[in-house]
């Protein structure tokens, strides 16, 4: 076997920011413009070959740091893509382990973008290099599923938040309007929220109670792998 | 960089079978005894190096076939393990992409075990080769989580099943007794079951209605990756 299989790590980084036209919060992600062949000039997920002395998650965290200057708040392995058809040249095959990171808006703003990096609206991307369009599609699908049964939405919020703020995240991720009363009921049933004694005041609205997530539930819950 | 990172694929194969002492259904998995160093003589998950001309899922399906003579009913990617500490020798590093397969009891019985293969009760394993004990622990954790919010339990059952049979699968996976009335309510709320007009008759019990899963929901739901 002359042909080796190489390993790469790439990272899908999501943040919520206002849409440039509608000004409603939507998912954005940063992409890196490829400066060499193959797919030169195309946009791609931040990533690269796995260094032999670097762990998978460490490599993903480095992608995040180099692209956005951020340290991960939420970073989780998404999927390993290794189809035979994803090679760019006949004698080269790459298996890519994909991570995803979720960052808060203020983090995404503070994080100065790296060279050749640009943020895009996740649902309005140009065609990406390699199979990265499919990878982003899968990441969006997973996020939209996961927001229904986990506390993943918290990764986009601060320590405490109002129910309206949490609902806004769900609406932005799911791309549909949610009924406030139904949403409140669902959140109460799920039992992942803890009501605090603090309220968000000011603005045009009456004070709204602040909630936090049950800290006994890990944000990126990997069970026996937590901390590895 | 003289040190290469190699790629392997291993597969965790679960089936429900009676416990040898309690005779209650519990999770079993097949292991392969290692016949060469490192970890010679230890039990390990079926798997091996990724062939350069084989896809990841195809490699996992081959593990399953060679270990149990079975073709996959449910086969899904679980996780990629790539820590720096999992190398067995100083100058070798392996990233393992792990798949998991769920097989029905009759399949597990029909499948003749391969050479050096033996089935074990999943919660009563000896110490395994490499980090395979951790991998099995993670697979069990994922299965126990996933059974709560998906139709994964169906992979252990036939086309149609009674609520009592489905509950027995949940009880075996979760290792605890479930209240029949609560379980029925939960299943009705989740809306993943379709009642058929057929009944399971015979035996000591009164006829029990047969259900099937909503076929519009994929068993291993990978969204945009389905069929890849």
Same structural domain, A102 and A168: no
In a domain, B222, yes or no: no
Closest approach of B80 to chain A, Cα-based (Å): 7
Closest approach of B157 to chain A, Cα-based (Å): 24
**Residue A43 belongs to a domain with what CATH number?**
3.90.79.10
In a domain, A223, yes or no: no
In a domain, A204, yes or no: yes
B138:A224 CB<8 A: yes
Closest approach of B199 to chain A, Cα-based (Å): 33
Per the CB < 8 A criterion, the answer to whether B144 and B173 are in contact is: yes
Closest approach of A3 to chain B, Cα-based (Å): 7
Same structural domain, B191 and B82: no
Same structural domain, B136 and B164: no
Give CA–CA dist A157/A165, Å, rounded.
8
Same structural domain, A99 and A159: no
Same structural domain, B73 and B175: no
What digits encode the pLDDT tens for the residues B75-129? 999 999 998 877 656 567 899 999 999 988 767 666 666 778 999 999 999 999 9
- Give the pLDDT confidence score for residue B197 in this predicted structure: 94
Q: Which one of B6, B142, B224 would you mutate to disrupt binding with A, by most A Cβ within 10 Å of its Cβ?
A: B224
Domain range for A106 is 5-148
| Partner-chain residue, chosen from A77, A83, A142, that has the shortest CB–CB distance to B55 | A83
Query: Region A84-96: what's the mean pLDDT?
Result: 76
Same structural domain, B133 and B154: no
Residue A2 has pLDDT above 70, yes or no: no
**Residue B209 belongs to a domain with what CATH number?**
1.10.10.10
Kindly list the residues from chain A whose CB atom is less than 8 angstroms away from the CB atom of residue B50.
5, 82, 95
Beta A208-213 vs A193-200: how paired, if at all? antiparallel
- Give the pLDDT confidence score for residue B1 in this predicted structure: 42
Lowest mean pLDDT among A73-77, A176-180, A216-220, B164-168: A216-220
- Give the pLDDT confidence score for residue B136 in this predicted structure: 96
Query: Which pLDDT band holds residue A83 (cuts at 50, 70, 90)?
Result: confident
Residue A170 has pLDDT above 90, yes or no: yes
In a domain, B55, yes or no: yes
CB contact A77 to B (< 8 Å): yes
Report the Cα B25 to chain-centroid distance in Å: 14
SS (H, E, C) chain B: CCCCEEEEEEEEEEEEEECCCCCCEEEEEEEEECCCCCCCCCEECCEEECCCCCCHHHHHHHHHHHHHCCCCCEEEEEEEECCHHHCCCCCCEEEEEEEEEEECHHHHHHCCCCCCEEEEECCCCCCCCCCHHHHHHHHHHHHHHHHHHCCHHHHHCCCCEEHHHHHHHHHHHHCCCCCHHHHHHHHHHHCCEEEEEEEECCCCCCCEEEEEECCCCCCCCCHHHCCC
Residue B142 has pLDDT above 80, yes or no: yes
**Mean pLDDT score across all residues of chain B:** 86
| Partner-chain residue, chosen from B3, B82, B141, that has the shortest CB–CB distance to A223 | B141
- Which of A:132-171 have CB within 8 Å of B? 134, 137-138, 141-142, 145, 149
Closest approach of A85 to chain B, Cα-based (Å): 9
Which of A129, A148, A167 delimits the end of a domain? A148
Q: How many CB atoms lie within 10 A of CB B89?
A: 8
CB contact B7 to A (< 8 Å): yes
Same structural domain, B10 and B46: yes
- Give the pLDDT confidence score for residue A131 in this predicted structure: 93
Contacts of A68 (CB under 8 A, 6+ apart): A13, A30, A103, A107, A108, A111, A112, A113, A114, A117
Same structural domain, A135 and A163: no
- Give the pLDDT confidence score for residue B152 in this predicted structure: 86
Kindly list the residues from chain A whose CB atom is less than 8 angstroms away from the CB atom of residue B133.
none
In a domain, B52, yes or no: yes
A223:B145 CB<8 A: yes
| Partner-chain residue, chosen from B4, B55, B79, that has the shortest CB–CB distance to A77 | B79
Kindly list the residues from chain A whose CB atom is less than 8 angstroms away from the CB atom of residue B77.
79-80
Same structural domain, A112 and A165: no
CB contact A4 to B (< 8 Å): yes
Kindly list the residues from chain B whose CB atom is less than 8 angstroms away from the CB atom of residue A138.
222-225
What digits encode the pLDDT tens for the residues B27-42? 999 999 999 988 999 9
Total structural domains in chain B? 2
What digits encode the pLDDT tens for the residues B151-175? 888 888 888 999 999 999 999 999 9
């Amino acid at each position: 076997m002359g042909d080796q299989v190489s390993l790469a790590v790439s990272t899908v980084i999501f943040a919520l920011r206002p849409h440039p036209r509608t000004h409603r919060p939507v998912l954005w992600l940063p992409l890196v413009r490829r400066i060499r062949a193959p797919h030169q000039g195309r946009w791609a997920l931040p990533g690269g070959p796995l260094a032999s002395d670097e762990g998978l998650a460490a490599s993903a965290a480095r992608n995040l740091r180099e692209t956005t200057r951020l340290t991960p708040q939420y970073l989780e392995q998404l999927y390993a893509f290794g189809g035979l058809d994803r090679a760019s040249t006949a004698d080269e095959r790459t298996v890519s382990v994909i991570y995803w990171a979720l960052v808060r808006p203020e983090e995404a703003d503070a994080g100065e973008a790296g060279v050749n990096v640009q943020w895009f609206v996740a649902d309005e991307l140009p065609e990406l290099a390699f199979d990265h369009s499919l990878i982003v599609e899968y990441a969006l699908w997973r996020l939209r599923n996961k927001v229904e049964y986990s506390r993943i939405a918290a990764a986009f919020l601060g320590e405490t938040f109002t129910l309206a703020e949490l609902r806004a995240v769900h609406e932005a991720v799911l791309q549909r309007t949610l009924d406030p009363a139904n949403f409140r009921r669902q959140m109460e049933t799920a039992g992942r929220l803890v009501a605090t004694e603090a309220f968000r005041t000011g603005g045009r609205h009456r004070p709204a109670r602040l909630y936090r997530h049950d800290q006994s539930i890990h944000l990126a819950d990997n069970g026996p792998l937590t901390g590895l």
